[in-house]
């Protein structure tokens, strides 16, 4: 079955080049009307120009699609609100939001400034929050929404020199986990993309041969799937060079310790049982941990008292 977006309106942030451009063009090819959002700055977030966004609009129009350019800085909520209004005034709905905009200020934690740290959080994390917030009520009212947040292996697993970027990229996972719960009854689904691509943000960081394989076009199918009507929900889909995988946050079953063992020494002595992967699970909500722990305690205390 062919996935199409006929009659759907999409906003793609950071769509002037790289991954965002690829996502936007492919959405348009499949029938979506697309807002091409791009501040047009350098990779570190400085500067600004509408040239890149207008170029993508021209490409989409040449293919027979519909698109408009928008230069909102996703870190500024008033600009994001104006972007959403522009889309609503033109097309009357917003079905798809792809949060892709980002900047880099890579430096080791010791050498990096707090100003840079804040700026990266503002663009990646608050930028995602701002765009999602501005679309949320619209999606709730129309009882339909597909949102993608962009995470990264740097956030999921860490990467030297990227404490700021990694913090922001893990932050969007926390945002997704709760939005999924709050959006469920309104048919709003939220997923995360963890891409590996050869873009200006990774240029010089990976060997040329690998860079050639890691095209944005090999990542985009993951986004197209995650914003389709039959999309998954609360999924971290990793993509790069034509390969796809799922990242999961799991919790070990753990162990309950008797009151006399509830000490640092007791934890050390029972470390093997606490960390054993046997019976590990994928919690769907925070309270599940509470239920599990209290259940273990009741069971353990019962056995202790019998």
Helix (H) or strand (E) holding 170: helix 163-183
The catalytic residue among 5, 144, 165, 225 is: 165
Q: Give helix then strand counts, H and E, for the chain.
A: 12, 8
Q: Count of CB atoms within 10 A of residue 70's CB?
A: 22
* Angle CA 155–275–167, to nearest 5: 15
Q: Is the dihedral of CA 236, 140, 186, 282 positive or negative?
A: positive
Instruction: Confirm whether 165 is a catalytic residue.
Output: yes
Structure tokens at 156: 């999921």
Is residue 195 within 8 A of residue 99, CB to CB? The reply is no
- Measured between alpha carbons, how far is 138 from 232 in angstroms, rounded to an integer? 21
Q: Which residues have CB under 8 Å from 129's CB, separation 6+?
A: 175
Quick one: CA torsion of 227, 27, 49, 136, rounded to 10 degrees? -30
> Rounded CA gap, 237 and 98, in Å?
14
Positions annotated as catalytic residues are: 165
């Amino acid at each position: 079955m062919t996935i199409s977006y006929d009659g759907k309106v999409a906003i793609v942030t950071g769509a002037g080049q790289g991954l965002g451009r690829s996502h936007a063009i492919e959405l348009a090819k499949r029938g979506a009307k697309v807002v091409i959002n791009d501040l047009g700055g350098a990779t570190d977030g400085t500067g600004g120009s509408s040239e890149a966004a207008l170029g993508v609009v021209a490409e989409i129009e040449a293919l027979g699609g519909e698109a408009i350019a928008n230069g909102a800085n996703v870190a500024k909520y008033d600009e994001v609100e104006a972007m959403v209004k522009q889309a609503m005034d033109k097309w009357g709905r917003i079905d798809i939001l792809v949060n892709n905009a980002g900047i880099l200020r890579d430096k080791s934690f010791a050498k990096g400034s707090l100003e840079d740290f804040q700026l990266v959080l503002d663009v990646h994390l608050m930028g995602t929050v701002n765009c999602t917030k501005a679309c949320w009520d619209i999606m709730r009212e129309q009882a339909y929404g597909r949102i993608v947040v962009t995470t990264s292996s740097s956030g999921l697993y860490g990467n030297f020199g990227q404490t700021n970027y990694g913090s922001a990229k893990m932050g969007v996972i926390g945002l997704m986990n709760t939005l999924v719960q709050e959006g469920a009854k309104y048919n709003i689904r939220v997923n995360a993309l963890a891409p590996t691509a050869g873009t200006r943000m990774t240029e010089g960081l990976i060997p040329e041969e690998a860079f050639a394989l890691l095209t944005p076009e090999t990542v985009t199918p993951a986004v197209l799937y995650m914003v389709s009507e039959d999309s998954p929900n609360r999924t971290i889909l990793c993509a790069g060079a034509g390969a796809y995988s799922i990242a999961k946050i799991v919790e070990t079953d753990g162990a309950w310790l008797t009151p006399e063992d509830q000490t640092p020494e007791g934890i050390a002595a029972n470390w093997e049982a606490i960390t054993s992967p046997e019976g590990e699970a994928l919690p769907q909500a925070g309270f599940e941990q509470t239920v599990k722990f209290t259940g273990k305690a009741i069971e353990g205390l019962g056995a202790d008292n019998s």
